[in-house]
Amino acid sequence: MRLPWETIVVPLTDMIAQLRTKNPNVRICVGHLNFNGGPALDIRPLVEAMAERLTTEASPVVTVHHYRNWNEKPTEENPDTFDWAHPNLSGQKKMAKAWLDAMRPWIETSKHKESGLF
């Protein structure tokens, strides 16, 4: 059986290296799994450690925690999925907000700020 390190962190590290060969100043967001139990709990600390290890001043790596306040149980009140895995409209909105919040510091300092888009 392969360990999460080999199946999760190694491919992500390789992808980040590939992105940086194209642009050494690339800013990278890595999303966490939306599940609040099971293997996600073992994988999260590995991804956090990877992001911290690979972050540079020129090319930061941040993690997106869209699992926070997430309800993957469609049988409960106010679910964020329709089938225990895939987001419904509520889940999509929560995920979009989490990604935007993670990117906002970069967006606000970009040329787009000057254009009045943000």
Domain boundaries along the sequence of the chain: 4-115
**Res 78 pLDDT > 60:** yes
Burial letters 64-73, b for 16+ CB under 10 A, else e: bbbbeebbbe
* pTM of the complete model: 0.84
Pairing of strands 28-31, 61-64: parallel
Give residue 2's pLDDT.
67
Higher-pLDDT residue of 2, 100: 100
**Res 115 pLDDT > 80:** no
Q: Which CATH architecture has domain 4-115?
A: 3-Layer(aba) Sandwich (3.40)
pLDDT band at 118 (very low <50, low <70, confident <90, very high): very low
User: Which tokens sit at 57?
Assistant: 């001043």
Q: Which amino acid is at 34?
A: N
